[in-house]
Amino acid sequence: MTTLPVRERILASATRLFDATSIRSVSADRVIADAGTTKVTFYRHFPTKDHLVVAYLEDQLHHLQEAVDAARAEGSDACKILLRLAAANGAAACRPGFRGCTFINAAAEYPAEGPVRDAVGQYRAWLHAVVTELLTELAVEGPAVVADQLIMLRDGAMVHGFMGDPTAVAESLTTAGRAIIGARRRTPLPA
């Protein structure tokens, strides 16, 4: 990790530490020590811990956006992309040490207004727009409403993965998602 540029090293340390415990429980000093840098260097890149948290959330969103863009570039249809999203959420929930959705956790840990909640809002807006677009391509009636339903289902699956049986998440998420979409689509979904 020491070969990474300092900003990326700090962000990598923060990501590992935030994912292992929680955002609020990890101090800037702990990130500084883990990244092997100084306070001056840390604060040069991130004037406050909230700036670091926003960068962390933006980085997580960027990875998700890249995955959807890559699926589009491969020529995956809307159904395959939705299935990939469900599978990715299921895989995350089954990962050892899973503590729930990064964005839901950040929203729970920070007040309703401020830069961290704005970053969570950007993720939520992006996710809703992508799911709505994919549902539109699948000729689903009321795609924005169905997107809300699928996102609520996904949110519940992330909480269940943390508090319940994570091995059931991927299959249950896919099965329930297909039922929701199927109820609003004129033709059956491909298998």
- Alpha-carbon gap, residue 59 to 186, rounded angstroms: 38
Q: What is the pLDDT of residues 110-155, one digit of tens each?
A: 988 999 999 999 999 999 999 999 999 999 999 999 999 999 999 9
Task: For residues 14 and 20, give the distance between their C-alpha atoms in angstroms, rounded to a whole number.
Answer: 10
Residues 6 or more apart from 149 whose CB is under 8 A from it? 180
Host domain of residue 115: 50-183
One domain for residues 20 and 86: no
- Note whether residue 92 is domain-resident: yes
Could you tell me if residue 56 is inside a domain?
yes
136 and 43 together in one domain: no
What's the total number of domains in the chain?
2
Going by the DSSP 8-state scheme, the letter that residue 186 receives in this structure is: S
Q: Summarize pLDDT for 49-81 with one digit per residue, the tens.
A: 999 999 999 999 999 999 999 999 999 899 999
CB 23, CB 17: distance < 8 Å: no
Q: Provide φ and ψ at 140, rounded to 5°.
A: -85, 135
Same domain as 69, residue 26? no
Choose the final residue of a domain: 30, 47, 64.
47
Tell me: do 35 and 94 sit in the same domain. no
In a domain, 154, yes or no: yes
